[in-house]
């Protein structure tokens, strides 16, 4: 499968491309440590989010029967996703170690929190929205890997391109689970979060992060 074929579902899902001003900032040599550290943090948070869904929703409804099939799918998909994200975390750490970049915590971008603020509070709507948010975070990550890769050195470029397959599958898994748990069309919620995501990506940010808007 070509790069264009891998990205086609992502581009169809997202409402905008990463702004060129963000790319211009991201490819500056002085931003590489921030890019890698925040990328590592994002991979770790993605694994934690998948595990949180397992703990909160994996047991299914109180009677242990309803939606059983969907809950087993959630358990299996989120378990696999968490393992992959932790592997990516380790891979980013290896690149950082090779370049003498110490791992540290950074303040988070407003991106993920901004999306989660829009999640409804009542179940099962909360779960459906949470899964849609997960799909957008994974899709945007995939789009940024592809768009940024050509401007990075061969080592990181190769790594980012290798992530496209798994990240694109993650977005599709989240979206499929959202549809299953909703039990009805979710087009309106997908459209709603598409606009929220677009605003967060296009609005300027004061700090550069992997999911920040343009400077």
Q: Is 132 exposed, middle or buried (0-12, 13-18, 19+ CB in 10 A)?
A: buried
What angle (nearest 5°) sits at the alpha carbon of residue 158, between those of residues 39 and 35?
20
12-16, 56-60, 189-193: lowest mean pLDDT where? 56-60
Tell me the pLDDT tens digit for each residue of 20-34. Answer: 999 999 999 999 999
Asked if residue 95 lies in contact with residue 156, where contact means CB atoms within 8 angstroms, the answer is yes
d(CA 60, CA 72) in angstroms, rounded, equals 9
Tell me the pLDDT tens digit for each residue of 127-175. Answer: 999 999 999 999 999 999 999 999 999 999 999 999 987 778 899 999 9
Buried b (16+ CB within 10 A) or exposed e, 163-193: bbebbbbbbbbbbebbbbbbeeebeebbeeb
pTM: 0.93
**What is the rounded (10 degree) CA torsion for 162, 15, 123, 60?**
-20
The domain segmentation of the chain, as residue ranges, is: 3-202
User: Secondary structure of the chain: what % helix, strand, coil (to 5)?
Assistant: 75, 0, 25
Q: Is 65 exposed, middle or buried (0-12, 13-18, 19+ CB in 10 A)?
A: exposed
Give the pLDDT score at 6: 80
* Mean pLDDT for all residues in the chain: 92
First-last CA distance in the chain: 34
Tell me the pLDDT tens digit for each residue of 93-104. Answer: 999 999 999 999
Residue range 179-207: average pLDDT? 96
Q: Under CATH, which architecture does the 3-202 domain have? A: Up-down Bundle (1.20)
Residue range 25-45: average pLDDT? 96
Q: 7 pLDDT band (50/70/90 cuts)?
A: confident
């Amino acid at each position: 499968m070509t790069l264009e074929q891998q990205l086609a579902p992502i581009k169809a899902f997202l409402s905008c491309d990463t702004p060129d001003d963000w790319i211009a900032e991201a490819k500056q040599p002085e931003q590489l440590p921030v890019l890698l550290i925040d990328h590592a943090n994002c991979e770790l948070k993605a694994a934690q989010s998948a595990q949180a869904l397992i703990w909160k929703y994996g047991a299914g409804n109180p009677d242990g029967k309803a939606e059983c099939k969907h809950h087993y799918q959630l358990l299996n998909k989120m378990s696999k996703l968490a393992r992959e994200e932790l592997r990516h975390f380790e891979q980013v750490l290896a690149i950082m170690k090779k370049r003498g970049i110490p791992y540290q915590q950074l303040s988070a971008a407003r991106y993920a929190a901004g999306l989660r603020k829009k999640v409804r509070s009542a179940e099962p709507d909360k779960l459906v929205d949470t899964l849609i948010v997960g799909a957008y975070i994974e899709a945007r990550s995939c789009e940024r890997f592809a768009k940024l890769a050509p401007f990075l050195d061969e080592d990181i470029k190769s790594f980012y391109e290798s992530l496209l397959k798994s990240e694109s599958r993650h977005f599709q898994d989240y979206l499929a689970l959202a549809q299953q748990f909703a039990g009805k069309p979710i087009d309106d919620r997908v459209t709603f979060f598409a606009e929220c995501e677009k605003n967060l990506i296009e609005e300027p940010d004061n700090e550069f992060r992997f999911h920040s808007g343009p400077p």
